[in-house]
Chain A
Amino acid sequence: GAGVSQSPRYKVTKRGQDVALRCDPISGHVSLYWYRQALGQGPEFLTYFNYEAQQDKSGLPNDRFSAERPEGSISTLTIQRTEQRDSAMYRCASSLAMVRQANYGYTFGSGTRLTVV
Chain B
Amino acid sequence: KNEVEQSPQNLTAQEGEFITINCSYSVGISALHWLQQHPGGGIVSLFMLSSGKKKHGRLIATINIQEKHSSLHITASHPRDSAVYICAVRWYSGGGADGLTFGKGTHLIIQP
- Closest-by-CB residue of A relative to B45 is A105
Residues of A within 8 A of B103 (CB): 42
CB distance from B6 to the nearest CB of A (A): 8
The stretch of A22-30, A68-76, A78-86, A96-104 in contact with B is: A96-104
Q: Tell me if B50 counts as interface (CB < 8 A to partner A).
A: yes
Contact B101 A45 (CB under 8 A): yes
Contact A45 B102 (CB under 8 A): yes
Contact A33 B100 (CB under 8 A): yes
Contact A99 B90 (CB under 8 A): yes
In-complex Cβ contact of A106 among B30, B33, B101, B105 (8 A): B33
Question: Using an 8 Å CB-CB cutoff, how does the interface string of B95-106 with A read, 1 for contact, 0 for none?
Answer: 011111111110
Contact A89 B102 (CB under 8 A): no
Contact B30 A99 (CB under 8 A): yes
In-complex Cβ contact of A48 among B31, B100, B102, B104 (8 A): B100
Contact B104 A55 (CB under 8 A): no
Question: For chain A, which range describes its interface: under 10, 10 to 19, 20 to 34, or 35 or more residues?
Answer: 20 to 34
Residues of A within 8 A of B52 (CB): none
Give chain A's interface residues, CB within 8 Å of chain B: 33, 35, 41-45, 48, 55-56, 58, 89, 91, 99-100, 102-108, 110-111
Give chain B's interface residues, CB within 8 Å of chain A: 30-31, 33, 35, 41-45, 47-48, 50, 86, 88, 90, 93, 96-105
Residues of A within 8 A of B33 (CB): 105-106
The complex places the Cα of A100 from the Cα of B50 at a distance, in Å, of: 11
In-complex Cβ contact of B86 among A42, A99, A107 (8 A): A42
The complex places the Cα of A105 from the Cα of B105 at a distance, in Å, of: 18
Contact B98 A55 (CB under 8 A): yes
CB distance from B18 to the nearest CB of A (A): 24
CB distance from B77 to the nearest CB of A (A): 22
Contact B99 A102 (CB under 8 A): no
Contact A42 B105 (CB under 8 A): yes
Residues of A within 8 A of B93 (CB): 56, 58
Residues of B within 8 A of A102 (CB): 30-31, 48, 50, 90
